[in-house]
Chain A
Amino acid sequence: MYDSVILRTVARLMLPILLLLSVFMLLRGHNLPGGGFIGGLVASCGVILQMVAFGPSFARRVMPVNYLALAAFGVCFAAFWGLPALFSGLPYMTAFWIEPSIPGVGKIGTPVLFDVGVYFTVVGVTTQLALLLAEEPVLFPMPPEPPGAEPEGAPQA
């Protein structure tokens, strides 16, 4: 089922590239197309590509992350960076910026950190959704497969 050599080779190469691209997307997102949501989708595409090429269990192993906790952490992180404004008497989510712009990264402030939270949330939620739906026998107990059926794509590392 998961036995395309081309797909597997490309998928292995693409994972680090996509993860790097996702971080790039995340950081450029404040004024240009991109941002936490887009970056998160790119990163989860990287993992989902592994899932398509090698099967969900490999995708779990290659990125051993508890995606649900990651999503919860992301929401928590994003919500947290609205709090400094609340404690200094401004409306929730009012932006704070560090003035000198860091070369290559841009200005850093609470919206960027909020976006990082969004990034983690999107990575967690979309990857978890895709993996759960692909692992359906685990999620929804089914009658055992008949003997002789092709076992799930066991990758050669």
Chain B
Amino acid sequence: MANHLFIPLVSPLLGATLAVIFGRQRLVARAMVLASVLCNLGYSLWLLWLVGTQGRQVSQGGGWIAPFGISMVADGLGAIMLCVASVLMLATVAYSFFTLDPAYERYFYYPLLLLLLLGVSGAFLTGDIFNLYVWFEVLLMASFGLITLGGTRGQLEGGLKYMVLNLVGSTAFLIACGLLYGVVGTLNMAHIAERMASVREPGILTAVACMFLFAYGSKAAIVPLYFWLPTSYHTPPVAVTAIFSGLLTKVGAYSLYRVFGTVMQNELQHLAPLLLLIAGLTMVIGVLGAMAQMNVRRILSFHIVSQIGYTIMGLGLASAAGLAAGLLFTAHVMIVKAALFFIGGAAEQIYGTAEIKPMGGLARREPALAIFWFLGILSLAGIPPLSGFFGKLALLQVGVGQGAYLISAVAAGTSILTFFSMLKIWNEVFWKKAYADMSKLPRVGPGLLLPGAALVVVSLVAGLAASTLVDYSTLAGTQLFDQAGYIGAVCGADGCEAVYESALR
């Protein structure tokens, strides 16, 4: 029993509550937040190593045995996502320390960030489908608070749309949970996976699977459910947009991987063509949307949509290798996307606007910022020494290997368009001559530069250490697709049904 799996949940929970109680003493509250994020980061790195060497880690909440209680399961997928989430949260907290209006701290900005981390960590570690819903709601509530904190008109309008569409998605999730419980009579993911085969009317499972696809798809912003994202993501402060871009849509993608990759594998085979269609449309529509925009954050927001397409492509390939490749890409894009938001946010702070037309000449004035931005877009587009190359390469290799030529061609074409659209920002913001006198504009301090730069360096290092990462993601993909292994790890070698029967006797 790996009871330490509860540490990443307890630490942000205690940190958030203590930060609320000590909200008056700013330094104490900040120290609490930093300590709990660092605790999560250290733990998730250790968990990554532990899962890599010893396989899945399982713990049963409250000591209730597996199909009855709530199981916590860490496999390769969960460990990687947990680790990336902690890294992003550390960068966000550091960025917020330097850039955020102090008024935000009085309205519990940091506790909300920690609640977001709590919800995300819980979602990555839980092995119970209804518990996953609860963690979704935890992180959604935190995100509702974060997106409307500040109360400008744009935030309220964008927040309302974000909230309503996410609530509809959550409701669909709840419907799917209820239907699934009605069909298989259990909520433990391992037990559901075991009972899938013995369902008398498999048709209803397809309906449930489509419900899950709608629910998670609306969180992950796939086409045609992405509308809430570009209309709300550019309204809150940069730090909030960055952490949202890194975490929120990816939790939806993670849940798709978990539910279709492990629990409902038969349905994954049925839905694979649909998923590939969605993936292609998401990539193309996202990147076309980005090309039409003239605002740094809106361009990046549309790119989030486009990149979700690659993640869904990994799922749609419906194999362990496809899932591994999609996972590698997702982990990369979480880091790079947040880095680009941070650096774009620094440019936004200098000029006081996120529109790219009035900007210019930043490369001469802030060469460090320009270098890291350029490395970031190279990574996003997938140029060799950086992490993006290996993610896309793995996806294309698997795609071509499985004969999915069309989606592979679309993916390759989209990455060219991605690079083109990011170059637009490069040309307008960094390269072209400045319109106005730049000497009056503020300089970039280390607090604005470092978090984004650190994340770009992480991407660079990840690219250089690609063989380790590819090995790890292959392990994670294999673990994810290995249904029998998952059931055995959660319920013991005989499976959940045996435990269930013996408990009833």
Question: What residues of chain A have their CB less than 8 Å away from a CB belonging to chain B?
Answer: 68-69, 72-73, 75-76, 79-80, 82-83, 85-86, 89-95
Contacts and interface: CB of A to CB of B under 8 A. Distances in A.
B62 A73 contact: no
B178 interface: no
B409 interface: no
Contact of A69 (B3, B9, B13, B21): B21
23 contacts: A68-B20, A69-B21, A72-B18, A72-B21, A72-B111, A73-B17, A73-B21, A75-B16, A76-B14, A76-B17, A76-B18, A76-B21, A80-B14, A82-B10, A83-B10, A86-B3, A90-B3, A90-B63, A91-B1, A92-B6, A92-B9, A92-B61, A92-B62
B60 interface: yes
Contacts of A83: 10
B17 A91 contact: no
Given A72-B21, A73-B21, A92-B3, A79 B63 contact: no
Nearest to B13: A79
Contact of B62 (A75, A79, A80, A93): A93
A82 B60 CA distance: 13
Interface residues of B, number: 19
A82 B13 CA distance: 12
Contacts of B265: none
A91 B13 contact: no
Interface in B93-143: 111
Interface of B: 1, 3, 6-7, 9-10, 13-14, 16-18, 20-21, 59-63, 111
Given A85-B63, A90-B63, A91-B62, 7 more contacts: A73-B21, A75-B17, A76-B18, A82-B10, A91-B6, A91-B61, A93-B61
Contact of B10 (A89, A91, A92): A92
Contacts of B7: 86
B10 A79 contact: yes
B62 A95 contact: yes
Contact of B13 (A73, A75, A95): A75
Contacts of A95: 62-63
Contacts of A86: 3, 6-7, 10
A125 to B, nearest CB: 12
A72 B62 contact: no
Contacts of A82: 6, 10
A79 B20 CA distance: 15
A93 B72 CA distance: 13
Given A79-B10, A86-B10, A91 B60 contact: yes
The 4 closest A-B pairs by CB, nearest first: A92-B6, A72-B20, A76-B17, A94-B63
Nearest to A140: B151
Nearest to A83: B10
Nearest to A95: B62
A37 B424 CA distance: 55
A89 B6 CA distance: 12
Contacts of A89: 3
Contacts of B9: 92
B62 A94 contact: yes
A91 B6 CA distance: 8
Nearest to B3: A91
A68 B112 CA distance: 14
B121 to A, nearest CB: 13
A58 B63 CA distance: 46
A69 B61 CA distance: 27
A76 B6 CA distance: 15
A86 to B, nearest CB: 6
Nearest to A70: B21
B110 to A, nearest CB: 12
Contacts of A93: 61-63
A57 B1 CA distance: 52
A89 B452 CA distance: 39
Contacts of B17: 72-73, 75-76, 79
Contacts of B14: 76, 79-80
